[in-house]
Amino acid sequence: MSKTLKFFAVLIAIGAASVLLTPVLGPFLPMFKFERIFNRLIMIFTVAAAVLFVRSRRWSLAECGFDFSCAWRRLLAFGFATGAVMVLAISVIEVIWGPRYIRHPMLVSDIVQRFLKGMISGTVVGIVEEFFFRGFIFVQLEKKMKTWIAVCAASIFYSLVHFLDNGQIFIPQTPGARDALRLLVGYVEPIFFQTAHILPEAVGLFLFGILLTVAFLKTRSLFLPIGIHAGTVFMIKWEASFVRKGYDVSVPWFGNAPHYDGSLEWALIILTSAFIYWIYRTKR
């Protein structure tokens, strides 16, 4: 079987397993929505397939970017600080000149709760997504094409995946496998039918993907992009304890989505990418 056929066979197997298992797991997980169970199964099976592929090729951890022989703690800490400061800079500018405003009152319990959720979410998202998109997808693409094309292709894929959204699909009270299949098909609806609406945020996510891929490319370690990704997610979630973003955007270069769809956000992501490129300009 060719590699292309194997790839599509794996995708079909992931979709089929998720469609069949979601109705089975639903009654045992009543605290979660049907579509959330389905989406989590897709994610788990996809990451598991990537791990199995890596193991079948007998890749070392270092080949995937988990190189513990380097100063990985320093890369992780520096990346986390970089991502957090980037989001903080956007928030400060938007509080002074843009649609953000200071939250009042600030609750200690909310600050602590969002801090913990931000740390947990940032850690999980950083590790899982960076392994998949940089340690697996980008590494594969880089072997088959020029580096700059691989960077762009991996970043486009990273951006588009964030818009695979089936939340618009109606789920009945007692869902079954047919409803799970509808969720699978509904993933692509935003990309094909809401293109103009999602385009600004897609551009921001593409640029953020470039930033993360440059961080990996210049260090050949996943720890720097993991840190940047984790710090960004953490600050986006934690800052909601201190600031809010209004819906009335009077200045066109301030976006509506969190830190992705305005030209200010794009500019700061590009500046951060240039900063990382300059700091690690001597490639390992």
Report the predicted TM-score, pTM, of the whole model to 2 decimal places: 0.86
Mean pLDDT of the chain: 86
- Taking 60 as the threshold, does the pLDDT of residue 151 lie above it? yes
- Provide the H-helix boundaries in 57-188: 72-97, 108-130, 139-144, 147-161, 177-186
pLDDT tens digits, residue range 190-210?
777 777 878 888 999 999 999
**Residue recorded with tokens 């009654």:** 27
What does the alpha-carbon distance between residue 118 and residue 85 come to, in Å, rounded to a whole number? 15
Band (185; pLDDT cuts 50, 70, 90): confident
Q: What are the backbone angles phi and psi of residue 244, rounded to the nearest 5°?
A: -125, 160
**Cα diameter, the chain:** 62
Tokens, residue 273: 């990418």
CA distances to 88, 133, 169, 283 from 234, rounded to whole Å, are 11, 19, 29, 28
Would you say residue 248 has pLDDT above 60?
no
More confident residue, 163 or 93: 93
pLDDT value at residue 169: 64
Angle at 142 between CA 153 and CA 131, to 5 degrees: 80
Assess contact for 261 and 198: CB atoms under 8 A. no
pLDDT over threshold 90, residue 238 = yes
Rounded Cα gap, residues 235 and 23, in angstroms: 36
CA dihedral for 166, 169, 174, 177, sign (positive or negative) = negative
Q: Would you give the DSSP letter of residue 30?
A: T
3-state DSSP assignment of residue 201: helix
The model's pLDDT over 3-49, given as tens digits with 9 standing for 90+, comes to: 667 777 888 888 888 888 888 888 888 877 787 788 888 888 898 98
Q: Are 204 and 158 in contact (CB under 8 A)?
A: no
